[in-house]
Structure 1
Amino acid sequence: MTTHTEERAAQLRAALADTLEARGQLTDPTWRKVFQTVPRHSFVPELWTLAADELRHVTSTDARWLDLVYTDDALATQLTDGVATSSSTAPGLMFTMLQALDVADSHRVLEVATGTGYNAALLSERLGSHQVVTVEVDPVLARLAGSRLRRCGYTPLVIAGDGRDGHPARAPYDRLIATCGFSAIPAAWLEQVRPAGMIVCPLGWGTVRLVVSDRGRAEGRFLPHGSYFMAVRDTGTTGTPAHPGRPSATSGRLTGLDLATIAEDDAFRFVLSLAAPETASAAERGDDGRTTAVELWSADGSWARAEGGTVCQAGPRLLWDAVEAAHELYVEHDRPGRERFGVTVTAEGQYIWLDSPSHPVPYCPGAV
């Protein structure tokens, strides 16, 4: 790569670092130095952008490539059957999570979901490669990430495997960070993170920060920021539930919910992501931009559609019932933000709570 390209990349990194610092997303001087050292473009030689409802392939030969890489955007970096199955996380969110991880120089870190390898490179620059283990379910991505890391001078242990199992051979870890979405914290992680260690993981449409105790338990609150990650997946799958079509509805009734709230209120959609996990959704809008219909579906075949004040739903989970329960909670508690919610995890499962662990959320799966 030409010296001019590297110089331009360094300028773009510095400018983006200034932007993230001004937004309060990159406040630690040590992490800022790491950000300006590690070249994101070396880990994103190609990407896909959405323009005019079409995915466009951008490579390093494209004049727009470097500018796109150094924006505060998530970048799709792999497509499977036309669906994005890997991405490079938006740097602002990435550093919000890394700073929440609160690493110290001696810490050993397990990363779940290697992806491009960029986050593993940041951790390696901060802690030293020998302190970092990263697990990627897709063996092709694992090989590519390993190669890119080595070219940049980093040699963390890159494992092709299921991150839900962690990597017990190198346990215990002081910190664990996941960069794909979960609906539940895997029990194996509690066994592999030291007491007083920390787990930072996307859960629903938020990121939870958990402290592990010496009793096989972890507990903590959600960070206040939005968090939108591709779901954890098995090898060869997309992690996105396929739309079941429009099955014969088992119930049809009236609903009084404002569809715009369901489709557009980010704080409510976070609550819904906890009450109806592993669910996809889509909204339809009229010519005036107003939401006219909302549809939800999940991999188990559950489906719901609300339109014109009427809702139909089918399948093993009544998804609109979950929407209404989540909305009732949301209104009753003055539209709580993410930071008011928390999670308690044990080997037996987890439960979501509001304000304190003594107030479990009854509508969320696993509530006690």
Structure 2
Amino acid sequence: MTRHTEERAEQLRAGLADGLEASGQLTDPTWRKVFETVPRHPFVPEFWTLAGEGPRRVTSADPDWLDLVYTDDALATQLTDRVATSSSTAPGLMLAMLQALDVADGHRVLEIATGTGYNAALLSERLGSHQVVTVEVDPVLARLADSRLRRSGYTPLVHAGDGREGYPGRAPYDRLIATCGFSTVPAAWLEQVRPAGLIVCPLGWGTVRLVVADDGRAEGRFLPAPSHFMTVRDAGTTGTPAHPGRPEATSGRLTGLDLAAVAEDEAFRFVLSLVAPDTAFAFERAEDGSVTAVELWAADGAWARTEDGKARQAGPRLLWDAVEAAHELYVEHDRPGRERFGVTVTDQGQRTWLDTPARPVPVAAKTA
């Protein structure tokens, strides 16, 4: 890496920090100093941009590599069957989550999903490497991250394993942060985070901030900003449910729900991610851009497709029923933002609620 490149990277880091601060995303001066100190480019020597007609591979030999690294964008860093299975999170979202983590000197942090190692580097710069443990399911990615961290001067404990199990060897932790998507918070985490500790975790299409209580229960609300993370997965898989094709519908009926309300309202799709967890969905459009069909499917075999005012469903959950119930809840409560929703987690399970724990949000029911 030439001196000119390093100087250019330093300028770009400062410029990105200026932009994030001006937009209100970067509010903590301590994190600003960390953000300006830790370079991102050593952790993403190559990546893929996913906009446009298809993935475009970018390497350090490309003239726009460094400029793309220091934009407020997520960068796909691993593709499996042309599906992105690891990435470097957009800096603005990363900072929002780190600031919500509310770390202090002396805190021990467990990170779930090491990815490139950049986020672990930020935590190590802030707290000291000896205070950071990071877990990555993909052993190849874990080795790469560990190597890049060490070359950058950071030595957190990098463990190749299933982040859903945490890392009990260094527990208890004061803070836990996850950078891959979940539908439920693993019970093992509640055992490994000390009382009054915090968990910041992507859940559905949002990020929840939970406080662990003395009795092991964890409860808290969602952050207001959108977040879209790759789903937690086993090594060698994509984490995305396979499309079932077009199964024979076991339920068919008319629906009056406007498809555009499902496809184009991002805030509603967050609600949908809560009531129909572990579900993928796709939209079909006419030449004029109007939505002509909505299709949903899940790993458990549930499937639904709606077009021409008619809904068809199959499998163990009635997904379109869940869509309609979610939209009714959404409209009835004045289209609530993420911050009005919360989650309570115990060793017995998880419950999502609106405004207060006394108002649970129903999830898609299984068919008889």
Q: Normalization by structure 2: what TM-score?
A: 0.98
State the one-letter code of the partner of 2:117: G
The residue that corresponds to 1:167 in the other structure is 167
Alignment of 1:1-368 (within 5 A): 1-363=1-363
State the one-letter code of the partner of 1:205: W
* SS of the residue 2:360 aligns to: coil
Deviations 1:134-158 (A, max 9, x none): 0000000000000000000000000
* SS of the residue 1:66 aligns to: helix
Q: 1 CA distance for matches of 2:318 and 2:282?
A: 17
Q: 2 CA distance for matches of 1:364 and 1:15?
A: 45
Q: 2 CA distance for matches of 1:175 and 1:333?
A: 33
Structure 1, 207-216 or 52-61: larger mean CA deviation: 52-61
State the one-letter code of the partner of 1:247: P
Alignment CA distance shift 1:51-1:350 (3 Å) = closer
Structure 1, 49-58 or 283-292: larger mean CA deviation: 49-58
* SS of the residue 2:55 aligns to: strand
Show structure 1 runs of 5+ residues with no match. none
Q: 2 CA distance for matches of 1:225 and 1:143?
A: 32
Deviations 1:315-348 (A, max 9, x none): 1111111101111111111111100000011100
Residue 281 of structure 2 contacts residue 294 of structure 2 at CA under 8 Å; is this kept in 1? yes
Alignment CA distance shift 1:302-1:363 (3 Å) = closer
Show structure 2 runs of 5+ residues with no match. none
Measure how far apart 1:51 and its partner are. Answer: 4.5
Deviations 1:140-178 (A, max 9, x none): 000000000000000000000000000001000000000
Q: 2 CA distance for matches of 1:285 and 1:21?
A: 38
Alignment CA distance shift 1:365-1:167 (3 Å) = farther
Q: 2 CA distance for matches of 1:97 and 1:254?
A: 42
Deviations 1:89-113 (A, max 9, x none): 0000000000000000110000000
Instruction: Give % identity.
Output: 82
Residue 294 of structure 1 contacts residue 307 of structure 1 at CA under 8 Å; is this kept in 2? yes
* SS of the residue 1:54 aligns to: coil
Q: 2 CA distance for matches of 1:205 and 1:274?
A: 8
* SS of the residue 1:330 aligns to: helix
Measure how far apart 1:358 and its partner are. Answer: 1.6
Deviations 1:262-310 (A, max 9, x none): 0110111000000000111111111111111111111122111111111
Residue 179 of structure 1 contacts residue 202 of structure 1 at CA under 8 Å; is this kept in 2? yes
Deviations 1:23-69 (A, max 9, x none): 11111011001111111011001011124322111111011111111
Q: 1 CA distance for matches of 2:252 and 2:364?
A: 24
Equivalenced residues, count: 366
Measure how far apart 1:360 and its partner are. Answer: 1.4
Q: 2 CA distance for matches of 1:364 and 1:182?
A: 17
State the one-letter code of the partner of 2:101: L
Residue 50 of structure 2 contacts residue 76 of structure 2 at CA under 8 Å; is this kept in 1? no
Residue 318 of structure 2 contacts residue 364 of structure 2 at CA under 8 Å; is this kept in 1? no
Q: 2 CA distance for matches of 1:314 and 1:109?
A: 43
Coordinate RMSD, CA, aligned:
1.1
Measure how far apart 1:313 and its partner are. Answer: 1.4
Q: 1 CA distance for matches of 2:365 and 2:318?
A: 13
Q: 2 CA distance for matches of 1:339 and 1:113?
A: 24
Q: 2 CA distance for matches of 1:364 and 1:250?
A: 16
Q: Normalization by structure 1: what TM-score?
A: 0.98
Q: 1 CA distance for matches of 2:80 and 2:50?
A: 15
